[in-house]
Structure 1
Amino acid sequence: MLLEKQLSEDGLHETGINGVRLFKVSESIQCAPAVYEPTVIAIVSGTKEAILDGNKHLYDNAKYMCCTMSLPVEAGTPNASPENPLLGVSITLDSKVMTELALEMENVAGSVKTPKGAELPKGLSFASWDDAFCDALLRLLQLGDDSVDSAILGESRLRELYYAVLKGEAGASVRRSFGVGNEIARSIEYLSHRLDQSVTIDELASKVGMSRAVFHRKFKQATSLSPIQFMKSMRLNNAAMNIATGMNVNEAAMSVGYVSSSQFSREFKRLYGQSPKQWVSSQGHLGMMA
């Protein structure tokens, strides 16, 4: 197998192509707070788990995961073992290139249009490995560690894979996030860069030209969370990730806008069922891939 030859050790491994990383996990890792950025994750062997708003999603080499906007999730590899390691590829979705492709598709005669007023596709979706995706992924990975091939062909083959995603089962979600009608994705990007600041729902709605009620409805359609739930989960997940990498609780709370460490601890325990200190001591594999 192509990935087995390139992955001798556990962990995330950079390739010569910007935004494309390979990963291997040989131990069962319980789900822990994480933040998915716009990414495609393709599992070649094994099973991965993602939990969003209490809904558990298991995916493997039959379906790839497509996340089109920053989302607070819990992620893990509950079934990984030395005998059955998790092997896969993580591909960052470059917003500039994705937007160019999405708009080009929308401008081409006969391209698929989303009916006006239709419910927004979910920001986290799953798509079958169709022939176009399989071929594009294989061509991308065949560049291997050859720096010259990657430098010359990497961008074009990555663009080919993006196009396969846009045409695949997750295409509607991707086109709405990066093309026309991407208001919710833009509001999430705005919020994600201001987690340490006080951002109101009215401010987010105003930024994308919606009433508060319409914004709330469309936001929940796209993320499964209300704007308030989303903001709280993003802040707490980012704080948990900071704590996992060694930041103390007070600093982690301040890094995501909490003035009171006691309030932070209360809300953390309400979401995760443990205090920050209890939680970090219970995590056996901190710092592993999300």
Structure 2
Amino acid sequence: MSKMQIKQFIETRADADGLIDIGLNSVQIFRATAAVPCDHAVFEPCVIAIVQGAKEAIFDGRRYIYDDQKYMCCPMSMPLRAGAPDVSPQKPLFGVYISLDQRVMTELAIEMENAGGSLPTGNNTREQGIRLAQWDDDFSDALLRILQLSDRPTDIAVLAESRLRELYYAILKGDAGIFARRAFGVGNAIARSIAHMTSNLNETVSIDDMADRAGLSRAVFHRKFKQATSMSPIQYMKSMRLNNAAMKIATGTTVSEAAMDVGYISASQFSREFKRMYGLSPRQWGDMQHDAPRIN
């Protein structure tokens, strides 16, 4: 029932394709009525819940399809490919984008560890980067409860923070719970390193710097980083820089500004590495992307 109410909520408020603000921090709805081919994207820490249609993400050669039966959990910033290729005006896509606040998620993960008793473990697999989780009643109910605050400013001011915590808690104890708690737990030095790295893409960061920040030796840091992301730290940094630059170009930033914003000093090096990843020059790619709605 909650899922149907969420769908009705989106249908009545989504009057255009793309992400739509509804007055709630960390929560947006989205709609798509045209196919969105899989393309390079950056997922910030988030959960994406689909109530009609399906989206897909390709990470480390694996294809993840999520729909109204499974939501997608991405607890760390990840460069990947994403899209919704099967969407049409007759089969529109409706969903909710939930940004995961690292501080609040970490607080909740620690509180859960300290509360005593046995924690639900969900499917204790070792996926890297992203995880699909079965919808459950707690998640559906918590998501509906926070959406119902929309358009009620006083309720948002008083209740939004507690209802967001309720939604985060449902994620942390749900099917992706052990995966998310592992990422946000107090001992996860790799997640902290990734958060620092993605906040400082325009700076030169060495593996030794990141290892020191994590309190690990270079060799151990490199191994743990690759276990968490399937990429080496250098590969990850390059992918994040290029994907972030691509998204900036798609929204109108000039090629030179986008390159500098993500730490490239040499325009020729940026163009060369961009074309190697995207198959097009930055300007060619930007010309193709300017009119496409963003739902990632």
Aligned structure 1 segments of 4 or more residues deviating by more than 6 angstroms:
none
**Kept in 1: contact 2:249–2:258 (CA 8 A):** yes
Please, which of 157, 165, 173 is the counterpart of residue 167 of structure 1?
173
CA distance in structure 2 between the aligned counterparts of 1:205 and 1:261, rounded to whole angstroms: 29
Partner residue of 1:140? 146
Q: Which amino acid aligns with 1:280?
A: G
Partner residue of 2:163? 157
Partner residue of 1:263? 269
Structure 2 residues not aligned, in runs of 5+: 1-7
> Larger deviation: 130-139 or 147-156?
147-156
Q: Which amino acid aligns with 1:181?
A: G
Partner residue of 1:102? 109
Partner residue of 1:216? 222
Q: Tell me, what secondary structure is at the counterpart of 2:150?
A: coil
CA distance in structure 2 between the aligned counterparts of 1:157 and 1:247, rounded to whole angstroms: 36
Partner residue of 1:274? 280
CA distance in structure 1 between the aligned counterparts of 2:165 and 2:210, rounded to whole angstroms: 31
Q: Tell me, what secondary structure is at the counterpart of 1:32?
A: strand
| Residues 209-250 of structure 1: CA deviation (Å, up to 9, x unaligned) | 111221112111211211111011001001111111222222
TM-score when normalising by structure 1? 0.92
Please, which of 10, 34, 41 is the counterpart of residue 34 of structure 1?
41
**Kept in 2: contact 1:50–1:73 (CA 8 A):** yes
Is the alpha carbon distance of 1:101 and 1:74 closer, same or farther for their aligned partners in structure 2, counting shifts above 3 Å?
Answer: same
Please, which of 12, 21, 26 is the counterpart of residue 5 of structure 1?
12
Please, which of 169, 173, 176 is the counterpart of residue 182 of structure 2?
176
CA distance in structure 1 between the aligned counterparts of 2:292 and 2:15, rounded to whole angstroms: 21
Tell me by how many angstroms 1:281 deviates: 2.8
Tell me by how many angstroms 1:255 deviates: 1.6
Q: Which amino acid aligns with 2:86?
A: N
CA distance in structure 2 between the aligned counterparts of 1:113 and 1:85, rounded to whole angstroms: 35
CA distance in structure 2 between the aligned counterparts of 1:61 and 1:119, rounded to whole angstroms: 22
Tell me by how many angstroms 1:144 deviates: 3.4
Partner residue of 2:52? 45
**Kept in 1: contact 2:252–2:290 (CA 8 A):** no
Correspondence list, 1:58-137, <5 A: 58-112=65-119, 122-137=128-143
CA distance in structure 1 between the aligned counterparts of 2:74 and 2:40, rounded to whole angstroms: 16
Q: Percent identity?
A: 59
Tell me by how many angstroms 1:134 deviates: 1.4
Partner residue of 1:15? 22
Tell me by how many angstroms 1:120 deviates: 6.1
Tell me by how many angstroms 1:254 deviates: 1.7
Structure 1 residues not aligned, in runs of 5+: none
> Larger deviation: 254-263 or 183-192?
254-263
CA distance in structure 2 between the aligned counterparts of 1:185 and 1:286, rounded to whole angstroms: 31
Please, which of 17, 22, 31 is the counterpart of residue 24 of structure 1?
31
CA distance in structure 2 between the aligned counterparts of 1:77 and 1:184, rounded to whole angstroms: 30
> Larger deviation: 239-248 or 18-27?
239-248
